[in-house]
Amino acid sequence: MLKEELQLLQEPGSYVGEVVKVMGKSKVLVKVHPEGKYVVDIGKNIDITKITPSTRVALRNDSYVLHLILPSKVDPLVNLMKVEKVPDSTYDMIGGLDQQIKEIKDVIELPIKHPELFESLGIAQPKGVLLYGPPGTGKTLLARAVAHHTDCTFIRVSGSELVQKYIGEGSRMVRELFVMARERAPSIIFMNEIDSIGSARMESGSGNGDSEVQRTMLELLNQLDGFEASNKIKTSSACCFNCILLGY
């Protein structure tokens, strides 16, 4: 084991790039920052079926041959968010919410299990639901149950975790959160305390940090409805009041 680690340490460094396009069975177009874009060969030990656009890869510094597929670059704080492959909660554990269970089945469970129904009708799938109510009324349990019955990865995040000190950090975490969700798709992102980033919009230049919170919320909306939106990712947001998000 120690010998293998020493061999890895003695190997020359590699360039880290991002795949732009797969070109045939043995070549890919890779973007290396800041040098530019290169068409490179793929090593014999690499499975080309695992290479897709935006995949992070390592290139040998002497021949630029792609020799390693790297995991996606995700913020450590995002990796620490609670992820469950398939929660063990079921609808039978929830009492007094029959109407809410029916509605969440129509909005989240039906599109995941039968997407062909929406395609045949030519309508877009719902992106998710907003759950509101006092603490302890079953919002989290309901989200876990629908993830269980749809065999989805359950990713739980608190909205307050996305409120960061520096400009752009919150929106970057949202992007990386959805990158992780795509890798584990189908998945359900449960955002608790969504009102911490989803309050009514304020005038720009207020100087009290509201502009950064708005950037985070706008990035969330972009991930839900933007060019890279995915039907295999659903969001379930929760807050204690039903009037907080009226500003949007």
pLDDT tens per residue, range 184-218: 888 999 998 888 887 666 665 555 556 778 888 88
Looking at the structure, do residues 215 and 113 belong to the same domain, yes or no? Answer: yes
Residue 173's pLDDT is what?
86
Q: Is residue 189 one of the residues assigned to a domain? A: yes
Name the helix (H) or strand (E) containing 84. strand 82-84
**46 and 103 co-located in one domain:** no
Rounded Cα distance, 48 and 71, in Å: 15
State whether 145 and 222 are in the same domain: yes
**CATH code at position 16:** 2.40.50.140
Same domain membership, residue 124 and residue 43 = no
Structure tokens at 165: 């000190």
CA distance 15 to 32: 7
Which domain CATH number covers 181?
3.40.50.300
Select from 45, 70, 95 the last residue of a domain: 70
| Same domain, residue pair 165 and 231 | yes
Q: Does 205 lie in the same domain as 189?
A: yes
Residues 98 and 211 in one domain: yes
181 and 145 share a domain? yes
Residue holding tokens 């039903």? Answer: 242
Statement to judge: residues 134 and 50 lie in one domain: no
pLDDT, tens digit, for every residue of 131-173?
988 888 899 999 999 999 999 989 988 888 888 767 788 888 8
pLDDT in tens, 9-39: 677 778 899 999 998 888 999 999 888 899 9
Predicted local distance difference test score (pLDDT) of residue 203: 61
Alpha-helical regions (H) of 83-227: 98-104, 110-113, 115-121, 139-149, 169-183, 210-225
User: Edge-to-edge strand order for the sheet containing 128-132?
Assistant: 82-84, 153-158, 187-192, 233-239, 128-132
233 and 117 in a common domain? yes
Residue 125 lies in a domain: yes
Global confidence as pTM = 0.69
118 strand-pairing partners: none
185 and 84, same structural domain?
yes
5 in a domain, yes or no? no
Q: Dump pLDDT digits (tens) for 50-88.
A: 898 888 899 988 888 998 888 877 666 666 666 777 788
On whether both 148 and 224 belong to a single domain, the answer is yes
Which residues span the domain enclosing 144? 76-247
